Amino acid sequence: AELPPPYTAIASPDASGVPVINCRVCQSLINLDGKLHQHVVKCTVCNEATPIKNPPSGKKYVRCQCNCLLICKDTSRKIGCPRPNCRRIITLGPVMLIPEEQPAQPALPVQPDGTRVVCGHCGNTFLWMELRFNTLAKCPHCKKISSVGSALPRRRCCAYITIGMICIFIGVGLTVGTQDFARRFHATYVSWAIAYLLGLICLIRACYWGAIKVSYPEHSFA
């Protein structure tokens, strides 16, 4: 987020006497003829909104990084950008109490204590409050679990493959080495089954960690 633009009410009229103002995004001139009763006007070049009046009582302007101008309560601490291709969560600082005769000034946005993560399932960005990677996260948009960073699933997958292959080799060794003993004591078959079953479970878990979606951090904050 960035600071809302300064709220110059109306710019000087142009040569034709029509009041105009510069767009706060692309600096193009915006014709204010017939729009002076509005709080914001829309630029015809970049299609972004520019305020021409102070916000209504109890409200404030906040401009997202994608240049979307948002109007929210002056007591709001967190707001979300409504644009589908952005969906940023903007955390605002504490509200400053100012005299009524002064124009309302927005609080400075502060950096959240966390990491913006791009979901590996739906592609939306969400705020992950853990300050460490190699962990699992649940996306608030699609409600699906993914791994933040690829180190954790890669490490888990290798570990389960190793354990699974060891269990299978143990099972093969028991099968070959205790065939004669198993014909007399049928309980030996249970040890074979346990070794093969543990190996199969470990390989299934390895497949799970190998196929899990990975979400990558967009920005990180100290």
Q: What is the pLDDT of residues 26-82, one digit of tens each?
A: 888 888 888 888 888 888 888 888 888 888 888 888 888 888 888 888 888 888 888
pTM: 0.45
For residue 110, give the nearest of 219, 1, 185 by alpha carbon.
1
Torsion sign over Cα 142, 90, 42, 35? positive
Average pLDDT over every residue of 125-151: 79
The catalytic site residues sit at: 72
Query: What are 31's strand-pairing partners?
Result: 20
> In the Cβ-directed half-sphere of 173, how many Cα atoms lie within 13 Å?
7
Kindly report, residue by residue over 156-214, the tens digit of the pLDDT.
999 999 999 999 999 888 888 888 777 788 788 888 889 899 999 999 999 999 999 98
